[in-house]
Amino acid sequence: RSGKNGYAYYSSEVENSTAKRLDIENNMRQAISNEINEFVVFYQPVVNVNTQMCTSCEALVRWDSKALGFMGPGEFIPLAEYLGLITSIGDYVLEEACRRCKIWNDNGHPDFYINVNLSVVQLLQKDVVENIKRILDKTGVNPKNIVLEITESFAINDMQRVMEIITGLKKLGPRIALDDFGTGYSSLNYIKQLPLDIIKVDKTFIDDIVEDDYAQAFVKLIVDLSKTIGTKIVVEGVEHKEQFELLKSLGVDYIQGYYFGKPVPANIFEEKNLEGRLG
Ligand code: C2E
Ligand code: CA
Ligand code: CA
Ligand code: CA
């Protein structure tokens, strides 16, 4: 209705985005198949609230593409999931993180541990448990020092299958964290049923926690619940001292956020964060 020009404009927009998507797809297939790996793992500190020591970190993937430039996971993970390429990328990240963890554990930090994200698509692969076992074995990492992060969207799948997979993964030794807590569906129900070790509270609850009574009450509720069921709480997205102080007063165990450090390459992490006192 807005006339010929309007339509032409719209259609070229769509074509552009399709062409761009295809370009990313082709480059992603190459980046995975090539000898030269363009995926890079960054590490973000997780800090013990009481000691302010960095006791662990989260492995976060980036894509340093020759053709497309440097990309954060938000720019390519959804497409990688859609194309079924996420398992290759996820396997790479897990293997990198396991190797890194073993190096740090062997060099004076025996209890340091690393959190790794698992996509729902990856978790629903038929051989996911065998595959992760193969990676843990191959790298020789102590599996107790690996935390596998799953999201609530995984938990909404067939509960019996979900339990089977999580139980299978736990038998290998790693701990399990429920990521992005509070953003999904009927979360409390899953918390009760799943054998979780850690709950990660999403950044959206933290952004205005200093002013928002509801967000404070939510975090307090999760802290109390976690004490009852014996899980640890990690709060994500803490950027300011006021947020840190408030979360500390609410009894939160661990904090991950720019206030203590952004995700950085392994060498920088080792230099600045690894088991250091931050903040
Ligand atoms: P996530 O698992 O919830 O990871 C936390 C995200 O929050 C990271 O973004 C981190 O950089 C960001 N963040 C942490 N603290 C702060 C803060 O104080 N302020 C702000 N503004 N951001 C903060 P990133 O690295 O861009 O990762 C985004 C998402 O991509 C991750 O969210 C995760 O869902 C996904 N992702 C990253 N790496 C992997 C991977 O290896 N495999 C899979 N399947 N997903 C991954
Ligand atoms: Ca995560
Ligand atoms: Ca998260
Ligand atoms: Ca997230």
pLDDT in tens, 215-235: 999 999 999 999 998 999 999
Binding-site residues, ligand 1, Cβ < 6 A: 44, 60-61, 72-74, 77, 86, 90, 93, 117, 119, 179-180, 236-239, 256-258, 263
Contact residues for 169 (Cβ-Cβ < 8 A; gap 6+): 128, 129, 132, 148, 176
Ligand nearest to the CA of 78: 1
pLDDT score, position 191 = 81
Choice between 232 and 279, residue whose per-residue pLDDT is larger:
232
Please, what is the angle between helix 128-139 and helix 86-106, to 10°? 30
Residue-wise pLDDT for 33-62, tens only, equals: 877 789 999 999 999 999 999 999 999 999
pLDDT score, position 192 = 81
> Which amino acid makes up residue 107?
N
Distance 200 CA to ligand 2 centre (A): 8
- For atom 27 of ligand 1, which residue has the closest CA? 73
pLDDT score, position 182 = 84
Residue-wise pLDDT for 68-94, tens only, equals: 999 999 999 999 999 999 999 999 999
46-73 burial: b if 16+ Cβ within 10 Å, else e: bbebeeeebbbbbbbbbbebeebeebeb
Contact residues for 45 (Cβ-Cβ < 8 A; gap 6+): 54, 56, 57, 256, 260, 261, 269, 273, 278
Report residues near ion ligand 4: CB below 5 Å: 180
What does the block give as tokens for 107? 């060099």
pLDDT score, position 159 = 85
pLDDT score, position 13 = 60
Ligand nearest to the CA of 93: 1
Closest to 178 in 3D by CA, of 115, 85, 224: 115
Ligand nearest to the CA of 74: 1
Whether 8 has a pLDDT exceeding 50, the answer reads no
pLDDT score, position 221 = 93
Please, what is the angle between helix 159-171 and helix 128-139, to 10°? 20
- For atom 37 of ligand 1, which residue has the closest CA? 60
CA dist 106 → 95, 109, 248 (Å): 16, 7, 32
Give the pTM.
Answer: 0.93
119: Cα separation from own chain's centroid: 9
Residue-wise pLDDT for 133-165, tens only, equals: 999 999 999 999 999 999 888 877 788 899 999
Give me the residue label for tokens 């959804």. Answer: 78
Q: How far apart are CA 134 and CA 139, in angstroms?
A: 9
Other C-beta atoms within 10 Å of 38: how many? 19
